[in-house]
Structure 1
Amino acid sequence: MAILSEEDRKLIISLLNEYSEKLLNMCEQIDRQQRNFDFLWLLLAFAWTMVFYWLFSTKIITILTILTITIVSQSFVIYIYFGIQQPRLELLQRKASIISAKLEKVIRAASQAQEHTTMAGGFFSDLEVDLRLSDAEYALQHYKNLAKKRKFFGYF
């Protein structure tokens, strides 16, 4: 059985830490933006429901005022989301996909190295690599669950 040097062990640990932290941070941002997106659509639906309610319960001048205010505010909100937030979310998802692929390769390489070699530092070095591997596997699984998760409004 070959011995893995201390430098290689530190490199494996630093790569596992770096990619798993990046992936978890991106997952957090993606989740936050998806929740904001869901809230935005609920807000839009509520506003239009209120407009239709007021349409049938008030005078024509009030209806025109309410419609104007609603249309202007809704257009602004939709522009903010689709013009600013949606491209940012897509970019985050692409970056997270790339980082998850890299992390998967690092996990695979670290697992193979751990199976076929012994660490220079002994038992505690093996334990540290095991712990970092489990953290990285958690980050990867968290990303996969987030990517699979159905959006609140699956059509958008």
Structure 2
Amino acid sequence: MTALHWKLVIDAADPHAQADFWARALGYTVEDNGAFIERLLAAGHAPAELTVEAHGRRAWRDLAAVRHPDDPYEEATGIGHGRRLLFQRVPEAKTAKNRLHIDVHAGPARDRAAEVARLESLGASVLRDVDEPGGRWTVMADPEGNEFCVQ
């Protein structure tokens, strides 16, 4: 069987703010779908009210994605074909603990406390520190309250 292409989709109140946070947090690139959207608008395949301006270019109002800068992407659409997070606007607020979360690995060259401080400066908050026989990590929340861990 051939490996499947996948992305992690995350519900959000503000997809563009979430994409900006996670791009800075992970060192990822916010996808640029501007040229693709302009072609769809010009052909009459999408209405302008489904778009906004983000980073000086046309973007989908209710979707924003980030991708690893070294992974391939389709130049015609700007859509990544590798490690990718897609944020989609939903009307309801987050109400419970995530059933799936991201683990950020600070790596051997970085100090976990320094990484936690950097993420706090981007808008994340510390929920708790965990110290168990299996390891140590910090549980944090992104600006919309989605939990993630820093190891």
The structure where strand makes up a greater share of residues is: 2
Q: State the TM-score, normalized to the length of structure 1.
A: 0.21
Q: Which has the larger radius of gyration?
A: 1
Q: State the TM-score, normalized to the length of structure 2.
A: 0.22
